[in-house]
Amino acid sequence: MSRARPDSPLLFDLPIRPDFSLEKAARRDGFWPVAGTDEAGRGPLAGPVAAAAVILDPDDIPEGLDDSKRLDAAARESAFADILARARAVSFASLCAGSIDAGDIRKASLEAMRRAVACLSARPLMVLADGRDVPPGLPCHGRAVVKGDQRSQSIAAASIVAKVMRDRMMAHAGGCDGRYGFEIHMGYATARHRSAIGEHGPAPRLHRLSFAPFRR
């Protein structure tokens, strides 16, 4: 698959907070509505990779939108509720550990974003996707935006939705199987998580067996 040419700003070109300028430019060019999409969970040893897509109302943009990694849990939850209340459309999709193992995490992340866009209740004419690749199979034009969750409010909103939803899924997994502490580390390779893996081995259908330390 050919890689889309990314929009790669210099570090000092990044705004302090994401804004709506990319969306406004797309609208001037006749591409409206505009959706932002982003994923959460590329790096963990366990759990799904999740993605969200969001179409914001340009006249009612939630306050405090930012890269989900730059917000604490309380701020993410608050922003999540605001996004659901005020956005024109929000959707979420995920691919399980088995689907990740069947291919690779990059392909799974892009497919999760494609599915999230496909599930929107309103069809966008442009999708702004975080990262260096446009998800293949989009129903409309797409643009890859490097560090998009720090540049575009639509992508930032999607990053928050994806992160909150994935964290809730992992907290539920932790409630179902208390051996690993999923509700604390969300599947990332913390010392506690690695110790639990050494003691109990991988959890069926949750751990990504194509990832180290499982891959042989």
- Provide the b/e sequence for 61-92 (b: ≥16 CB within 10 Å): bbeebbbbeebeeeebebbbebbeebbbbbbb
Chain segment 48-85, per-residue pLDDT in tens: 999 999 999 999 999 999 999 999 999 999 999 999 99
Identify whether the C-beta of residue 44 lies closer than 8 Å to the C-beta of residue 110: no
What is the rounded average pLDDT of the residues 153-169?
A: 98
Instruction: Report the C-alpha gap between 88 and 68 in whole angstroms.
Output: 20
Task: Indicate whether 3 belongs to any domain.
Answer: no
- Closest residue by Cα to residue 77 from 187, 163, 141: 163
Chain segment 115-159, per-residue pLDDT in tens: 999 999 999 999 999 999 999 999 999 999 999 999 999 999 999
Task: Indicate whether 35 belongs to any domain.
Answer: yes
Chain segment 94-121, per-residue pLDDT in tens: 999 999 999 999 999 999 999 999 999 9
Instruction: Report the C-alpha gap between 77 and 129 in whole angstroms.
Output: 22
Helix (H, G, I), strand (E, B) or coil at 107: helix
Task: Indicate whether 5 belongs to any domain.
Answer: no
Helix (H, G, I), strand (E, B) or coil at 143: strand
| Residues in a beta bridge with 141 | 126
Instruction: Report the C-alpha gap between 8 and 204 in whole angstroms.
Output: 39
In this prediction, residue 62 carries a pLDDT of: 96
The CA distances from residue 4 to 61, 99, 134, in Å, are: 29, 24, 6
- CATH number for 28: 3.30.420.10
What's the pTM value of the predicted model, to 2 decimals? 0.92
Task: Indicate whether 181 belongs to any domain.
Answer: no
Task: Indicate whether 187 belongs to any domain.
Answer: no
Question: Domain limits at 41?
Answer: 15-166
Say how many domains are in the chain. 1
Task: Indicate whether 186 belongs to any domain.
Answer: no
